[in-house]
Chain A
Amino acid sequence: MFAFLVRRLGQAILVMLVISILSFSIQDELGDPLRELVGQSVSEEIRNQLRDELGLNDPFLVQYWRFLKNAVQGDLGTSYFFKRPALDVILDKLPATIDLVVAATFWIILFSVPAGMFAAIRPNHWLSKLCMGLSILGISIPVFLTAIFLIQIFAVNLGWFPAYGRGDTVVLFGGWETSLLSLDGLSHLLLPSVSLASVILPLFVRIIRSEMMEVLETEYVKFAWAKGLSKYRIWTVHAFKNTLLPVITVGGVQLGIMVAYTILTETVFQWPGMGFMFLEAINRVDTPLIVAYLIVVGLIFVITNTVVDIIYGLVNPMVKLTGR
């Protein structure tokens, strides 16, 4: 386990370095930060002086090195708009996004596992065909459309759920705010999380179905039948546990990708998370905030992948976490 973690940490550092170079180097393409800082009325002379002071005239590598040194100490620059450390701004918004992702993940697991299993076990049942049809639909409809539909029906027409905002939150230890523990928060969370889940859920149903169908044809499942085990044990223990392995691998990546989809969902629902913040930062050419966002998201990716690998190792006895 220790060797595994050390190796994993090495990989993570490498990935983070690449991400940091990429996100740092795009900042020049995003527009002139000075315009945001000082406005139009300042003369070219003073601008140049300011550039020098900010180090914007230094060579790329010098700038990057400075950036990296600060980044390692948790300083990702100061947001032009908020006039606060970019990392602080993001960390303020992070809990809202995490709420959204956690809730969406909950929906995905809650529905994709039974639906995928059922569709694999009874491929010709009308319910399975319905599931498969819906999943194609779900994959093809863009998130923002789903979101707008949900708002129109459940918020505007029926008035069951609020259309935007985060609602009441409960403060946990360390000042972490969550919507998951208040009724009002949950009702605000429902529509955004469902629409976020709607992108990935169909994919999960399809992966689980196809993997499980393959597993059901294997010799060891046939042997399990020949042992006279109950069908429920065969489906849930013998077949599903083996289905999980490929699902974890593919699914882990998808959960990471979901973070990217939060940008759309949060914007439509005006959910005060980092996705919404990111879009605003782009509009304001708030370069430090953009760069910081990319780095934090990269970090989330790396962490998710590590966790996925660990879970994979726990499910699959052929992978020894110690031996790698």
Chain B
Amino acid sequence: MTLLNIENLEVTFPLRSGSVTAIRDVSFTVDQGERIGIVGESGAGKSVSAFAILNLISKPGYISGGRIEFDGTLLSELDESTMQQIRGNRISMIFQDPMMTLNPVLSIGTQMEESILAHRKISRAEARNIAVDKLRAVQIPSAQKRLKQYPHELSGGMRQRVVIAIALLTDPQLIIADEPTTALDVTIQAEILELLQNLCNEFNVGLILITHDLGVVSQVTQKIIVMYAGAIIEQGDTENIVTRPKHHYTRGLLKALPENTTPGEKLNQINGVMPTLQDIPHGCLFHNRCDMVKDVCRKVQPNLQGIASHSVACHFPISYEE
């Protein structure tokens, strides 16, 4: 069953220097309980896509096109108070930096209870019980005691567990995790990812995992979407993307992963930088960094083509002999 269906999403920022389109023509679906990953380098439009789903794009940005359908409702048509009932209730979000996500002057208990009480008509005591349950679910020791603590009393990894527990409080259908491990130590990263994966599995929660690390998503998600300069340039089943990437950019990303580099050799960087939104090139978005660039790439923008399990926006996709 399709849980989230995004079609031709477009987000625009009207800035003083002229308006920029941060994401263009973004379409993808998430099934019930499905885990998908969105990868791309900084500025590719991953966070903007995520915040667009909750209609929380920072001003002056706005959704300038497309439709977002969640569990049968068109989110783009909802008024603010109905949308508020979906946020943090049926769709939860996990942010990048757990040091900044929790309010420093409110206790963990307050920040958890308010989240439940905003969406459920239950007593404070009942809310507290749910909070303790979820803290246990994310394997935080002495959960009861944590409620009285403040964010600064917890380590980064603990805080991200608290944030995940908050995301789980209302038994959401979808969790959007925007780089949930980027700010953490490598060892803790793996723990948190595994926890997130297990919890989504256990409670049949859909997950959109945003990261700039292809290595990270490939371990957790069933589908991968590769974004570049505000557009999806390749998407498909994780297996396909990781073993048979069709876009030269995706292949570059895979080659650049430390685990795909022979020890002692230099990392395989992709030359050049991603174009900024102000100077999106004609034709293929990637052509000025591509080794295989031909004339047509500079003139005609390739469309995403293929099947659900693997599609790519490239005039000369990499082909693999079966």
Q: Interface 1/0s, chain B 98-124, versus A by CB < 8 A?
A: 001111111100000011001100000
Interface size for B (C-beta < 8 A) is 30
Q: Which of A221-242 contact B (CB under 8 A)?
A: 221-230, 233, 237-238, 241-242
Q: How far is the CA of A223 from the CA of B89 in the complex (A)?
A: 13
Q: Which residues of chain A have C-beta atoms less than 8 A from B150's C-beta?
A: 317-318
Chain A: interface residue count, which band?
20 to 34
Main secondary structure of the interface of B (DSSP, over half): loop
Given contacts A223-B95, A317-B150, A318-B150, contact A229 B101 (CB under 8 A): no
B87→A318 contact, CB < 8 A? no
Q: Of the candidates A223, A316, A317, A318, which one forms a contact with B93 in the assembled complex, judged by CB atoms under 8 Å apart?
A: A223
* CB atoms of A238 and B56 under 8 A apart: no
- Whether A222 pairs with B102 at a CB distance below 8 angstroms is no
- Name the A residues within 8 Å of B115 (CB-CB): 227-229
- A contact residues around B102 at 8 Å (CB): 220, 223
Q: Check if A229 sits within 8 Å of B152, measured CB to CB.
A: no
Task: Give Cα A218 to B151, complex, Å.
Answer: 15
B93 neighbours in A (Cβ, 8 Å): 223, 226
Contact of B209 with A by CB under 8 A: no
Residue of B nearest to A238 (CB): B103
Q: Do B54 and A226 touch (CB < 8 A)?
A: yes
Contact of A228 among B86, B97, B104 (CB under 8 A): B86
Which chain B positions have C-beta within 8 A of A220? 100-104
Contact yes or no, A225 B104, CB < 8 A: no
Q: Does B166 contact A (CB under 8 A)?
A: yes
Residue B88 at the chain A interface, CB threshold 8 Å:
yes
CA A222 to CA B102, docked complex, whole Å: 10
B87 touches A226 (CB 8 A): yes
Q: B278 at the A/B interface (Cβ < 8 Å)?
A: no
CB-based contact B56/A226 at 8 Å = yes
Residues of A within 8 A of B (CB): 218-230, 233, 237-238, 241-242, 245, 315-318
List the 9 closest pairs (A to B, CB-CB), nearest first.
Answer: A228-B88, A228-B87, A227-B88, A219-B100, A317-B150, A226-B93, A220-B103, A227-B115, A223-B101
Extra contacts besides A223-B102, A242-B105, A245-B105 (17): CB < 8 Å: A219-B100, A220-B101, A223-B103, A226-B93, A227-B115, A227-B118, A227-B166, A228-B87, A228-B119, A229-B84, A229-B88, A233-B118, A238-B103, A242-B104, A315-B105, A316-B105, A317-B104
